[in-house]
Amino acid sequence: MAKKNSTANKLDWEYAPSLEGTDHIQLKEKYDLYIGGKFVKPSSGKYFATTNPATGEKLADVAYGDESDVDKAVKAARKAYTEVWSKLSGKERGKYIYRIARIMQERARELAVIETLDAGKVIRESRDVDVPLACNHFFYYAGWADKLEYAFPNRKIESLGVAGQIIPWNFPILMAAWKIAPALAAGNTVVLKPAETTPLTALKLAEIFHDAGLPPGVVNIVTGYGDTGAAIVNHADVDKIAFTGSTGVGKIIQKAIAGTNKKATLELGGKSANIIMDDAPIDQAVEGIINGIFFNQGHVCCAGSRLFVQENVADEVIKKLKRRMDTLIVGNPLDKNTDVGAINSKEQLATIQKYIKLGISEGATMHQSRAKIPANGYYCAPTIFTDVAQSSTIVQEEIFGPVLTIQTFRTVDEVIQKANNTPFGLAAGVWSDKGSRVFNLTSKLKAGVVWANTYNKFDPTSPFGGYKESGYGREGGLHGLGAYVKLK
């Protein structure tokens, strides 16, 4: 810690950086597609670069998979399904999944650093949240593999076949775990496409599957852009689509699979309400607001992006929130002190800035954290908007960045009406000291997850998913397992 004397007696503190090392990670210069247990070149011969959003530097070239590559991957998955995986006992499947989880734990540090480099998220988060949770999902579903008849008592259980899985860039390894673990536990094989800006940890997972001795073709990883994902969705021999991403793409997928036998789970956008009642513990609620909107730079589908504060405590909450925002450290995601890292991509930064401009032009009052922002890389200062209404664009549309809108309310009925007045319904938060008030709100909010006196808490045993345009189907817990089986 460096300190400098400003006056004779008073100290002004600056925290010296505490950088996580990168010399222990192993990254190849070029990554091929992982199909049928081997890394194979893309048929087009094309590659694209994945970069570190904190610096703009290239990390690796990654294969651009096209329709024929997807076809190869689906064929490999089908072969593995019929010849190997569907014939294995649940106990044997469980052993593989446990082994994957253990190897992930052993390589947790490397996975966390690569995730931070590729996605821009802070090391504290990838180290303490994303990677451990991803491991826990594998452990959790490994435990179900030989107990499916207890998960669904008195039902005959069949796996679905080949699952096509398309995951987003905000939680790359965690989303891969959410999707792959239950699919394998239930006896399905997988073709997974990571997002184009964050493919590296999925490719590291491929190496881990390889090291775990997972039979060839059980999990295939095809990197690429939107058309690669479309090829998976449209492939005739895929039995199930699991997608996490934007509501726009979710609607396209919904149309594409209409009239087919494909099952689907869609986990889409959100504009979740975080509600502060006047009896809430204000300092804890302020931490909850910060966590709700600035965790992972606001790139969280369930981010608490619409804050509702009871009018009689609004001034106090906003004052404390602003002060807390000024203490956030924005900067190098590899620094263990950093609270808010880099925006995932140049495109996303432009989207966020567009919404901030729109907020101002629609008459809202903006306040930004005084945190120092690095000159290079893609960064956005934590931002809040007051003087907004239900009709403001920034209140209605998902921004997917560190931007919070603040509205006030007077009664419980009013806040329920306002919170539910959105096409989305993924999550909500309620802060109150009074149990009956909490339960009244949690039962009336139309959202898949409602947190009380906390926010952004995740656990493999707990199902996650949305109402309305936030999607359908659930991931996590028994519900998540149910999405990968046919019950008779």
Does 150 participate in binding other proteins (rule CB under 8 A)?
no
Tell me how crowded residue 278 is: count the other CB atoms within 10 A of its CB.
17
Residues 209, 192 contacting (CB under 8 angstroms): no
Residues 196, 56 contacting (CB under 8 angstroms): no
Please, what is the minimum distance in Å from the beta carbon of residue 313 to other proteins? Answer: 13
Q: Which residue has the tokens 């895929």?
A: 238
Applying the rule CB under 8 A, the residues between 310 and 339 that interact with other proteins are 319, 327
Q: Which helix (H) or strand (E) holds 330?
A: none
Q: How far is CA 236 from the centre of its chain?
A: 28
Among residues 307, 302, 273, 245, which one has the least CA distance to residue 456? 302
Among residues 339, 366, 370, which one has the least CA distance to residue 355? 366
Does 11 participate in binding other proteins (rule CB under 8 A)?
yes
Q: Which helix (H) or strand (E) holds 408?
A: strand 403-409
Among residues 311, 305, 463, which one has the least CA distance to residue 382? 305
Please, what is the minimum distance in Å from the beta carbon of residue 333 to other proteins? Answer: 20
The residue among 9 and 154 lying less far from other proteins, judged by its C-beta, is: 9
The residue among 327 and 390 lying less far from other proteins, judged by its C-beta, is: 327
> Which of these segments, 4-12, 24-32, 303-311, 421-429, binds other proteins (CB under 8 A)?
4-12
Residues 114, 204 contacting (CB under 8 angstroms): yes
Please, what is the minimum distance in Å from the beta carbon of residue 13 to other proteins? Answer: 5
Using CA atoms, how far apart are residues 488 and 480, in angstroms rounded to an integer? 18
**Total chain residues near other proteins (CB under 8 A):** 11
The residue among 1 and 258 lying less far from other proteins, judged by its C-beta, is: 1
Give me the phi and psi of 77, to 5 degrees please: -65, -40
Among residues 359, 320, 318, 368, which one has the least CA distance to residue 340? 368
Catalytically active residues are: 267, 301
> Which of these segments, 2-10, 135-143, 350-358, 461-469, binds other proteins (CB under 8 A)?
2-10
Task: Sheet containing 47-51: give its strands across.
Answer: 30-31, 58-63, 47-51
The residue among 6 and 361 lying less far from other proteins, judged by its C-beta, is: 6
Task: Sheet containing 38-40: give its strands across.
Answer: 38-40, 33-35, 219-221, 189-193, 162-166, 240-244, 263-267, 471-472
Please, what is the minimum distance in Å from the beta carbon of residue 452 to other proteins? Answer: 19
Using CA atoms, how far apart are residues 60 and 200, in angstroms rounded to an integer? 8
The residue among 284 and 376 lying less far from other proteins, judged by its C-beta, is: 284
Q: Which helix (H) or strand (E) holds 387?
A: none
The residue among 8 and 236 lying less far from other proteins, judged by its C-beta, is: 8
Using CA atoms, how far apart are residues 426 and 306, in angstroms rounded to an integer? 12
> Which of these segments, 11-19, 84-92, 304-312, 393-401, binds other proteins (CB under 8 A)?
11-19
Among 1, 2, 236, 258, which residue interacts with other proteins (rule: CB under 8 A)?
A: 1
Please, what is the minimum distance in Å from the beta carbon of residue 168 to other proteins? Answer: 33
Does 2 participate in binding other proteins (rule CB under 8 A)?
no
Give me the phi and psi of 249, to 5 degrees please: -65, -35
The residue among 9 and 436 lying less far from other proteins, judged by its C-beta, is: 9
Using CA atoms, how far apart are residues 72 and 374, in angstroms rounded to an integer? 44
Does 6 participate in binding other proteins (rule CB under 8 A)?
yes
> Which of these segments, 3-11, 52-60, 115-123, 227-235, binds other proteins (CB under 8 A)?
3-11
> Which of these segments, 7-15, 92-100, 400-408, 433-441, binds other proteins (CB under 8 A)?
7-15
Site string for other proteins, 12-51 (x = CB under 8 A): xx-x------------------------------------
Among 283, 311, 433, 459, which residue interacts with other proteins (rule: CB under 8 A)?
A: 283
Question: Token pair of 250, please?
Answer: 């979710």
Does 436 participate in binding other proteins (rule CB under 8 A)?
no
Please, what is the minimum distance in Å from the beta carbon of residue 437 to other proteins? Answer: 19
Question: Token pair of 393, please?
Answer: 């664009």
> Which of these segments, 10-18, 166-174, 269-277, 443-451, binds other proteins (CB under 8 A)?
10-18
Using CA atoms, how far apart are residues 411 and 430, in angstroms rounded to an integer? 14
The residue among 337 and 454 lying less far from other proteins, judged by its C-beta, is: 337
Please, what is the minimum distance in Å from the beta carbon of residue 371 to other proteins? Answer: 13
Please, what is the minimum distance in Å from the beta carbon of residue 334 to other proteins? Answer: 20
Applying the rule CB under 8 A, the residues between 238 and 257 that interact with other proteins are none
Binding site for other proteins (CB under 8 A): 1, 6, 9-13, 15, 283, 319, 327
